[in-house]
Amino acid sequence: MGQDRPTSQPGPAKQRAVTWRSAAIALVLVLLWTVGTCYMAVGQPLFGQQFLMVLGFGAILTVFLLQFPTVFLVSVVLLWGGSYVLMYRGAGAALRPQMLAGILRSLPAFLLVAGMALWIKLRPLRRAEMVVIYACVLIAVPWCVAIKAVIESSTANLFEVMRKAEPQMYVWSRQMPWWGPTLPRPEPPRIPPKPAPPPDATEEQIARAQQAYERAMAEYRRRVKEYALERHRADRLTQAAVEGFANGNGGRVPWRLWWRPMLFWVATCLSYEAMLMGILLLFRRRWLEHERLPFVWAQPALHILRAPSWSARRRWWVAFVAGLGICLPAIIFVGPAGEQLSNWTVPPWVGQWGIRGGVDLTELNILPKTPLQLMWGPMVLAMLLLFPVDVLMTVALVYIVLNILVPGLMRAFGLELGPREVRMFVKWGVRFGGCAGLLIWSSVFALWDWLRARRQGFQVPARASDRLGPTWAIAALALAGLVGFVALGTYSTNLVQMLLLTGFVLIYAFAQVRQRAEGQIVTYENNIASHQMVSIQRDFLHDHYGLARDNPGMRITPDSWATHWLQWGFVGQLKSLGPHNMLLEAFKIGHELKVHARTIAKAVLVTMLIVALVTPLLYVQLMYIYGFSNSFQGELATWVSFTQWSERSESYGFRSTSKVFWLPTSKTGWGGFYEQYRNIFNAIYGVLLVGGLFYLRREFPRFPLSPVGFVLAAEASNPVVPYTPEHIWFSFLLAWIIKSLIFRWLGVRSFREKIQPAVIMFLCGIIFGMMMHICRYVALGLGRLK
């Protein structure tokens, strides 16, 4: 490590980014990450690390290893050799021949990666080449997860329906051949009507009618037999296909049943991403050049690619070793079955109590019936130190006021109604209304500035390397994606519900990207979006034919069931994990390092096409070899297996939604018009508050509160996705205080040139340790299909 040299050459500002070497390395890395993601089995000891790798840490690790090829080469040799030594020692004598065969099978991949690392060390990559490779890997990992998830979830949901013997849901799924590998049941033949001759019919006419009826009945009986055989055949093939996917059957894939669902889901995902990426590309120049958003999670890769001379970097390797050192005890002290031999675990430590994670002061009852949990951790604090100060301050203050002080004081004074009202305002006003406000006001002010520039005849020309293409072409991409997504969704549900779902997609997906640009790595809207869609459909669209009515025999329809599955997927997991979240980070790095925007766009497009072709075929084949039941370890839950969201389809299908979709027969006692639609008014208040904050930030640049921080303060969390203020509000407060003191006493320049690089190298050490931890468990047969 001490003798490592940076691979990025200073050279001229303009370098060739796409060469045969960069294309070959990018292709190899994209395929390696795709295969690894498809082989991944989610286990509780590895979930936190796997989750962060999908959210961009894997791309950061990739560019780090490319920049420091000695570390890359040594890591590949040690991890491959060490993994098989551990596996060989842990295996019994009977399994050792099988282990040796596995070593021989993995040898070509090892030689390929090790040879690539040696090649990069001998012939360092240019900085522009690494930017293209980084963009490819950054998009490939979440895109593979997205395609894998929709195929996995639809078929897993069908398996759950069959296993639980839910006849109504089973019939609905069977009538949706795009949903999974199903054959629709044939239509039963109709019984021919008995002849009813007119009163004046002759005996001959009656006899002919009777003979025709007997022939029709004979044909009917023949068709009944054929129908029974065809139905049995369809049931048998469908059940075998679904059970083979769920449990594995030796790799015998019924491809003729799979072409339709694979084409449907890949086309839906492509339309979804084209819609969102087109919209984001319309904001690209404004966010990169005019507003100059920080794009926090592009900063680690930027720092690595801008690696200065070795004398300046040597101090930062101490931070890297410190981050790696935090992970080493958990990597070393692991038993042969994967059990931890010590209480030390690999970060992130969010949600763990004690010196590593935090303390729970709720029992002190400082504020009556108000949770008071103080969570921290070195990795979380390092991540938050990269956030802008105004976002940290706004999140800390808004969360403390709305979620701790106001409800606690109201309870202290005996106002039980107050905390509930505040909670509903936070959920519908700050969270939903705030997310809608980010989309609405970002669009309004962007359009206003564009019209003003056109009216004044003054427009700043784009730098040559930032020219992507005509605006109309980007808008056409977004529109085509929108039309495709709505059309495919309408095919599976109906137009009214699909338009409502698309509105939720645009609001929450745009808001997540805007929050990620300011540092929030992921947001969680699965539950709230489900409840909001139910409320809106029940209160406003209850007369639509596709919705359930207040009829005990018709609690939910196939359209409602399919819509809520799509909501859980496309407003929930795919919104959080999709590649659109990282798109502008790749363009940010290209903008800073003067790599042409069209080059980045072409790399992203080619990567998405390659992954879209490889992932469905590879993943389906692997499931029929290993079985979906082996793709997770422990009890399956929605976010524990974060690529799988079939739980909501199953529960909303025949439990929860069946009740919440009931339309009350009488609305008496609801408290009038305002009380009835209080949540809608709260959402409007949230939109107006965010608009006011946007306006104040535009007119008064030193205004301290951030509209993004205001929305982020209301983001909900999840026990296994604990990166929002609901869990780590105290860490936001600590990071704000620490960063403010650094700015005051050392200065902004000192922070950017000395402290921020050390923080990034500390994070790189932790990320490197996470990958070592994953490889350690893979060597023990955990965290992968087997």
Task: Let me know whether 405 and 330 are in one domain.
Answer: no
Domain that holds residue 338: 1-7+16-125+309-346+767-786
Model confidence over 549-583: pLDDT tens digits? 444 444 566 777 777 778 878 887 788 889 999 99
Say what the pLDDT of residue 99 is.
65
Mean pLDDT score across all residues of the chain? 80
Task: Let me know whether 323 and 361 are in one domain.
Answer: no
Give the angle subtended at the CA of 419 by the CAs of 389 and 402, to the nearest 5°: 10
Least Cα distance to 382 among 678, 779, 757 occurs for 757
pLDDT band at 547 (very low <50, low <70, confident <90, very high): very low
Task: Let me know whether 330 and 450 are in one domain.
Answer: no
Q: Say whether 664 sits in a helix, a strand or coil.
A: coil
In a domain, 725, yes or no: yes
Say what the pLDDT of residue 765 is.
94
Task: Let me know whether 740 and 785 are in one domain.
Answer: no
CB-CB contact of 180 with 154 (8 Å) = yes
Task: Let me know whether 710 and 771 are in one domain.
Answer: no
Task: Let me know whether 428 and 318 are in one domain.
Answer: no
Model confidence over 177-213: pLDDT tens digits? 677 787 776 677 778 787 777 777 777 777 787 788 7
Model confidence over 227-281: pLDDT tens digits? 777 777 777 888 888 888 888 888 899 998 899 899 999 999 999 999 999 999 9
In a domain, 215, yes or no: no
Q: What percent of the chain has pLDDT over 90?
A: 31
Task: Let me know whether 730 and 777 are in one domain.
Answer: no
Least Cα distance to 434 among 703, 698, 709 occurs for 709
For the residues 24-43, what does the mean pLDDT come to?
A: 89
Round to whole Å and give the CA distance between 81 and 77: 6
**pLDDT-wise least confident of 125-134, 390-399, 534-543, 652-661:** 652-661
Task: Let me know whether 341 and 366 are in one domain.
Answer: no
pLDDT band at 663 (very low <50, low <70, confident <90, very high): very low
Whole-model pTM: value is 0.87
**pLDDT-wise least confident of 58-72, 454-468, 535-549:** 535-549
Task: Let me know whether 338 and 426 are in one domain.
Answer: no
Round to whole Å and give the CA distance between 483 and 251: 37
pLDDT of 666 above 70:
no
In a domain, 239, yes or no: no
In a domain, 151, yes or no: no
**pLDDT-wise least confident of 196-205, 498-507, 756-765:** 196-205
In a domain, 237, yes or no: no
Round to whole Å and give the CA distance between 217 and 613: 50
In a domain, 727, yes or no: yes
Task: Let me know whether 693 and 776 are in one domain.
Answer: no
In a domain, 20, yes or no: yes
Distances in Å between the Cα of 559 and the Cα atoms of 153, 662, 727 are 18, 15, 36
Round to whole Å and give the CA distance between 588 and 295: 7
Provide the b/e sequence for 257-274 (b: ≥16 CB within 10 Å): bbeebbebbbbbbbbbbb
Q: How is residue 46 written in tokens? A: 């590895």
If one counts the domains in the chain, the total is 2
**pLDDT-wise least confident of 335-344, 442-451, 735-744:** 335-344
For the residues 492-510, what does the mean pLDDT come to?
A: 88
**Which has more pLDDT, 9 or 355?**
355
Say what the pLDDT of residue 576 is.
85
In a domain, 63, yes or no: yes
Model confidence over 703-745: pLDDT tens digits? 999 999 999 988 877 666 678 888 888 889 999 999 999 999 9
| The amino acid at 491 | Y
Say what the pLDDT of residue 735 is.
94
Round to whole Å and give the CA distance between 557 and 548: 6
Task: Let me know whether 356 and 395 are in one domain.
Answer: yes
Say what the pLDDT of residue 660 is.
44
Distances in Å between the Cα of 748 and the Cα atoms of 63, 388, 702 are 27, 12, 16
Say what the pLDDT of residue 394 is.
94
Q: What percent of the chain has pLDDT over 70?
A: 77
pLDDT of 653 above 50:
no
Model confidence over 516-531: pLDDT tens digits? 999 998 887 766 777 7
Q: Output phi, psi for 510, to 5 deg.
A: -60, -45
CB-CB contact of 136 with 91 (8 Å) = no
Say what the pLDDT of residue 664 is.
47
Q: How is residue 94 written in tokens? A: 């009977």
CB-CB contact of 517 with 287 (8 Å) = yes
pLDDT of 656 above 50:
no
Task: Let me know whether 477 and 551 are in one domain.
Answer: yes
